[in-house]
Amino acid sequence: MSRFLNRNEAFDSAYFRKYYFNTATRVTTATEMRGRAQLIAAILRHAGITVRSILDAGCGIGLLRKPFAEALPRARYEGLEASDYLCARYQWTKGSVVDFTPRSASDLVVCYDVLQYVGDRDAARAIANLAKLSSAAIYVSALTREDWRANCDRTRTDGAVHLRPGDWYRRRLRRYYGTWRARKELARNHARDISSFMNNLGPAQRLSSIQATSAACTGSPAPTSARL
């Protein structure tokens, strides 16, 4: 419980050395994140969404920066990070997805495995704020209670988080990002077009791809959303 009291102090060099730099204990790899960026770019191209700017909210060590430069070469990337350690090391923009207010919205906002680190009230505020941060599309991923029970490798996953049911996130996302029916309809359209792409991914990436595809949505004026 103490880790929840000051997460900024917990996100120090030791944390990132364990979960990102140490090849024996890291939670993800550059190859996996490249596949994720390619998936996001493929969905956006299919939806006809032009991306000129990307805000990676809670960007960590920036594992998506290079893959996005390859997949969306015309887009400007900005990393938003609450960790003092990472901002000093990588010169990210200091701030939190909960209340960050940019000069202008970004075409694509990514919030990857961030929301489980904040309490219910701040997580709900962050979801609402995503609608202001993005002008076209968002990509959201969060460790859920179901993931912890059945999907993740607990030896490599930080368990000192707020484990909520997936439906907790879905209910709040639906308030801002279109109807569930619209999401399911777009998912059916995407599934066929990117099936060959997913077949080239590894098992873990393929699972994330299927989950993202099944929850993609469009809506006007609400932005496109993909929820893992």
Quick one: pLDDT at residue 23? 78
At residue 222, does pLDDT exceed 50? no
What stretches of 47-97 show up as alpha helix (H) in DSSP?
A: 65-71, 84-90
Calpha distance 205→197 (Å, rounded): 11
Of 179, 166, 119, the C-alpha closest to 140 is 166
The helix-helix angle for 30-46 and 180-193 (nearest 10°) equals 110
CA angle 160, 2, 95 (to 5 degrees): 75
Could you read off the pLDDT of 11-35 as tens digits, one per residue? Answer: 777 776 776 767 776 777 888 889 9
At residue 51, does pLDDT exceed 50? yes
The pTM (predicted TM-score) of the whole model is: 0.75
Percentage of residues in the chain with pLDDT exceeding 90? 54
Which residue ranges form the domains of the chain, and what is each CATH number?
A: 2-227 (3.40.50.150)
Cα dist from 190 to 11, 16, 51, 123, 217, whole Å: 36, 35, 18, 28, 10
Classified as helix, coil or strand, 79 is strand
- Strand segments (E) across the chain: 53-57, 76-81, 93-94, 106-112, 134-141, 224-227
At residue 147, does pLDDT exceed 50? yes
